[in-house]
Amino acid sequence: MMKHEFEELAGYEVSWSDYQNIIEPMYMATNLTKQEFVKVIDKKRFALPTKAQIIREMKALAKTIFEGCGIRTYHEEEAKLWELAKQYAERFWGLHWVTDMDAYLYFTKGYAYCGVEQDRGCTFIRELVIGYKDLEYERIKLAA
């Protein structure tokens, strides 16, 4: 069974390494049909997060930063947002940060204090912008 066949039958995406190292060897070791095999695989273990799930997680982190702006620092949350944004851009737009110098990803920011926008103060992440060369692919509003 090919990776795309598995994903089509299962209804979700899996990583290439999981498919190659776990799913395919397991399938080859059984006498199950493709449909039967897909039913016995644990979706929670192998399914990659959907576009909506990643955006929802990014929005939750951005909301946490916005609401607590001015109370403490949010370095860990911002680092997690960067990782999610890179994962999102690579998976859904095919942008590779190591090999492609024309791809871009940045956050627009605003100022707030305890969940209220201000003219100055603590910065929070407002939007995620993804693009390539002169073309903006997507702009996702994250907070405020």
Q: Decide: pTM greater than 0.85.
A: no
* CA distance between the termini of the chain: 46
Strands (DSSP E) found in the chain? 103-113, 116-118, 122-132, 135-141
Encode the chain (144 residues) as per-residue pLDDT tens digits: 899 999 999 999 999 999 999 999 999 999 999 999 999 998 888 999 999 999 999 999 999 999 999 999 999 999 999 999 999 999 999 998 788 899 999 999 999 999 999 999 899 999 999 999 999 999 999 997
pLDDT at 107: 97
Q: Report the DSSP pairing between strands 122-132 and 103-113.
A: antiparallel
